[in-house]
Structure 1
């Protein structure tokens, strides 16, 4: 995979993560150009499919993609960078001699597309010399001509750059006016214009929008510095998420502000400044066993790492081992029908149709209609996440619809769906979850984490920590991380809030594979309690 254009986000709060902003730099006017006519996309796709079949393919699919990105970054009172990029081309995947082949091109002429399809077939035939058993695809009925778009109210790409910069600089002002000494704020916008066609008879045109507005604020004191990142979620929405057209804000007692389909970034930044001042003075946690009450803005990452990744079937089978390994949730555990992944109130499910989520699409990158399915039901492991060529390995004949490619130039493969924890059937509040806790810690926001090669033993930090005494949130504390293993942790789950507290967070750049690809995925959950969890002091490392 080409990795020519990277922008490195500074600050320890971003984990020194490299954020790919791929494609060629373009002007704002080019970014707003109309997409290719759908009838012409179909014509080009048919050229690819027909050329592949003529060359010997028994199956072929073509993905015509136009991928747009906008990146705006500010620090304190200045604008650091504004980048607009565009990438367009076609990726062609085939089966020939029972083996996958793939090729791609950015040259969108009919002759080039036909040659690329022939090259994909040649790759498949060359690979077939090493194939021990033929690819077996679960059946998919062609759907003909279909269109789908992320249900946005305001296209974020059409919002003037001045408005976006003004928002970020106002966010910076709010944080610094309330106690932060430094702050960087960022806006990521993504638009994937994807056209999928296959020899099954599908012609699917999808227009996918995503948005993320993170910030990292820092306060400096006599004994060092503290940081707090934003608690807003990356979403599958338009600019209405930031300008308040869809207000649905939830106050979380004792901590910060949670958001569903609207994010008051200024309020979050102002709260961050105040909380940073408190962080500088907060007492350090005493290590020991605590009941943990985890805010959705924190728990979503624990779900991602301890449920989402280990229940990807390619990790379970040992076909995938990059980015923290394979999986402890092996097939024998699933086949037993008795493996207690969590307590009997734990119900975890996958669903790429969730509104506002990062993974929300109508069809995956294999042309499979997306759906919801159970992974853990009443605490028992019942299923995995699998694609068309995998489901027969778990005695199923219908793909789960979780194939994805980060671009037209990269082959699609199994990626995590939106994986979420179902809320309590009784619509109880976060306060109800807390009220029975005698000695506990409330944790909000994502922090550093570590998990082993089997996705089993782990350690998680956070952004905000509050001591709970006798059912009440009291003092802000610091230096908290908890340690457990996946099965022990989810079996310690004793209570969760109801649907009115359910929120969807996510990961905008989730890495997997070799060569590496990134995808965007969300995780929903309510405020949830886990009893008797080991907490360490990260400052003392005990």
Structure 2
């Protein structure tokens, strides 16, 4: 078996798995009309919070917080001309976290009575006291002022749950038809909608009510050439967003063209699923007969929808302080970017690389007003002109690196799970100088333009890696010449970011995102976006994935 057939077959096997999963979906199957019910009012939630906080303090807690969370999920799945499934799920409960005897304790319940909440708070304190028998050092929280009664809401224009299911299913089926009409042999599509109604209260004096919305339209197209038996596929170039249904109302201003000759269209703050499905079918047909890449060193021009995954794996994860400290070693690995490594001031990338973490970016998946331990969110710099200057950290980590404040990046996927350090939106700053995609390409003598994220592999320290994509175009003497296939690049994190030669300007800036970034034991899922403009990297090693194995 050659490598291309192997990766194609495993790609098909994974076809049933490429759709995002929702570990927090455990809850009640409900009628879709119940998705629009208002739930508990703020006064009721505040009263319940005080029950928990008072019970925890009475049981011996020196600190306590409570999250009252209602999560609503609707998922619609289709294939060709059929709707394959629709799910509407509600999950409602409380999670209570405490410090007693200098140690964390956590317990949760869906018993929303005063007695049930008080009993859960007492249980959390009992767990903390039991844990304290093996605790070596007491938990030290960075100071956090209470905000009183505050609220935050995703600034949506149209609640996706208010749109009739038939209208949404018809849109997915129309996208399937657009793909099959243009040569697709198989196509499946899906639409995921999430609403997290979170109420946080703590003994610091915060009572925070948040209403968070996310949406993700996506599809997968496969073309089979019956004569040769060859088949290829392409996934959608959409990105999940922190928006309402307005994301699926295409706006011409939000369409971002790839370099001239590439037939690639990216999307900014709205998404044209019909156009993308049409292009996907046409491009997938081309993949079957297009030229296979010749391995070697190439300058790469990376589209934001592709670069987001590389940012996620090579910057987002290795700058999470819990990974740096070894807390994730058993499950997800550690980080090459250790505290000692940072002290040596080793360059992370070229001077063109400034990367920020940000929980405030409008329309991003990670946008919230406050995190899950009541910290107001912000933007902060991780890499400044190639130098690693900071990590992502929460309240009980800040003191470890000599800081006195959390970055506001603590999150839990549901009321039943304890909150812990999660990745913020981690994004590459675009060029301050006006620069188009064609201008970026014009300086490339021998290169490849890559759009869409594909298969990838990266080691446990987030250092050595390999990334594929969805579509590839050859660049020769500053011009796009033809489509390529079987492309992946191999690099290490320092070499890759050291090869960064610059980006396009803010007008090309877009998000890539992930609905289900997994971490922790038991594993939890979070949603995160990564922003960038189209960016150039020089002299990157490209391999041919069709070469025979053995």
Aligned residue in 1 for 2:74: 70
- CA distance in structure 2 between the aligned counterparts of 1:14 and 1:473, rounded to whole angstroms: 34
Residue 123 of structure 2: aligned partner? 119
Q: Name which of 19, 22, 34 aligns with 2:21.
A: 19
Check whether the contact 1:190–1:210 (CA below 8 A) recurs between aligned residues: yes
2:367 is the alignment partner of 1:360: yes
Distance 1:459 1:24 in 2: 40
Deviations 1:189-226 (A, max 9, x none): 00000000000000000000000011000000124110
Instruction: Supply the distance in 2 between the matched residues of 1:90 and 1:494 (Cα, whole angstroms).
Output: 49
CA contact (8 A) 2:20 2:515 kept: no
Aligned twin of 1:225: 231
Give SS of 1:129's match: coil
SS, match of residue 133 in structure 1: coil
Equivalent position SS for 1:148 = strand
CA distance in 2, matches of 1:145, 1:10: 50
The aligned counterpart of 2:165 is: 161
Counterparts of 1:317-466 in structure 2, within 5 Å, are 317-321=325-329, 324-336=332-344, 338-466=345-473
Please state how far the C-alpha of 1:322 moved relative to its aligned partner. 5.1
Aligned residue in 1 for 2:57: 53
Q: How does 1:110-259 map to 2 (within 5 A)?
A: 110-221=114-225, 222-244=228-250, 248-253=254-259, 254-259=262-267
Counterparts in 2 of 1:453 and 1:269: CA distance versus 1, 3 Å: same
Asked if 1 retains the 8 angstrom alpha-carbon contact of 2:304 and 2:532, the reply is: yes
What per-residue deviation string (whole Å, max 9, x for no partner) do you get for residues 63-106 of structure 1? 00000000000000000000000000000000000000000000
Asked if 1 retains the 8 angstrom alpha-carbon contact of 2:356 and 2:428, the reply is yes
- The Cα offsets for residues 240-294 of structure 1, whole Å up to 9 and x where unpaired, read as 0002379522222214111111000100000001101111111111011111100
**Cα pair 1:295 1:444 within 8 Å, conserved:** yes
Residue 180 to residue 135, structure 1, CA distance change in 2 (3 Å) = same
Give 1:123 shift: 0.2
Distance 2:44 2:86 in 1: 32
SS of the residue corresponding to residue 19 of structure 1 reads: coil
Q: 1:259 to 1:323 in 2, by over 3 A?
A: farther
- 8 Å contact from structure 1 (residues 10, 16) kept in 2: no
Aligned partner of 1:523 in structure 2 is 530
Q: Which residue number in structure 2 is paired with residue 492 of structure 1?
A: 499
For residues 440 and 15 of structure 2, what CA distance do their matches in structure 1 show?
29
Cα distance change on mapping 1:166 and 1:69 into 2, 3 Å: same
1:144-195: per-residue Cα shift (whole Å, max 9, x none)? 0011110000000110001001100000000111121110000000000000
SS of 1:367's equivalent in the other structure is coil
Aligned-residue RMSD, C-alpha? 1.4
Specify whether residues 17 and 211 from structure 1 end up closer, same or farther in structure 2 by C-alpha distance, changes over 3 A only.
closer
Q: Determine if contact 2:20/2:516 at 8 Å carries over to the other structure.
A: no
Q: Which runs of 4+ in 1 moved over 4 A?
A: 13-18
Residue 278 of structure 1 aligns to a residue whose secondary structure is helix
Aligned match of 1:302: 310
Instruction: Compute the TM-score of the two structures, normalised by the length of structure 2.
Output: 0.95
Pick closer, same or farther for the CA change 1:297–1:407 going to 2, 3 Å.
Answer: same
Gaps of 5+ in 1: 1-8
Residue matched to 1:6: none
Once the two structures are TM-superposed, the CA of residue 22 in structure 1 deviates from its matched residue by: 3.2
Is it true that 1:276 corresponds to 2:284 in the alignment?
yes
Aligned position for 1:475:
482
Distance 1:134 1:204 in 2: 27
Cα drift, residue 15 of structure 1: 5.1
Contact 1:63 1:195 in 2 (8 A): yes
Correspondence for 1:96: 100
Structure 1 position 13, deviation (Å): 5.0
Contact (CA 8 Å) 1:324, 1:455: kept in 2 or not? Answer: no
The question of 1:263 aligning with 2:267 is answered no
CA–CA distance in structure 1, aligned partners of residues 250 and 288 of structure 2: 32
Partner residue, 1:539? 546
